[in-house]
Amino acid sequence: MYFNGNKIKLSFSRAKYQTVGNEVYCTLQYTINIPGAYSDMIATVANDKQIYTSTAKATCNSTDVFDKQLGRDIANARAEAKAYKQAGQLVSKQVKEMVKKYYDMALDFSERVDYIQRHDAEYVAELSK
């Protein structure tokens, strides 16, 4: 899968439904696809299986007539909203961790640069005597 831009995308598998009395449950499985910063490659933010699950339900009010398809539609919309919320939290957490790692690497490199510059300046001064 390739992206036409820098957009994070969720890919959902086929929804699974279960009806219990006047309740309809929807389970969605999804992956989070993130385009690479420097290429068209995709990084997948993942748990052990690289697949996440979101489940939601719709309950028919006792004064309404049960409509299985309407229950499916409502449960699916809720499961999708829940998946996006979970993915947003996960992506934010991972981005923060990644930024911290790069920041720490930049600080380490800056210290190395300072050391090399001081060392080379001392070396040149010693050679110039």
Note whether residue 126 is domain-resident.
no
Note whether residue 47 is domain-resident.
yes
Note whether residue 68 is domain-resident.
yes
Name the band, by pLDDT with cuts 50, 70 and 90, for residue 8.
Answer: confident
3-state secondary structure the chain: CCCCCCCCEEEECCCEEEEECCEEEEEEEEEEEEECCCCCCEEEECCCCCCEEEEEEEECCCCCCCCHHHHHHHHHHHHHHHHHHHHHHHHHHHHHHHHHHHHHHHHHHHHHHHHHHHHHHHHHHHHCC
Domain that holds residue 24: 9-93
Note whether residue 46 is domain-resident.
yes
- The pTM of the full predicted model, rounded to 2 decimals, is 0.70
Structurally, the chain folds into a number of domains equal to 1
Note whether residue 98 is domain-resident.
no
Condensed to tens digits (0 to 9), the pLDDT of residues 87-98 reads 999 888 888 888
Ranges 5-9, 27-31, 101-105: which has the least confidence: 5-9
Note whether residue 102 is domain-resident.
no
* CATH code where residue 67 lies: 3.30.160
Per-residue pLDDT at 42: 47
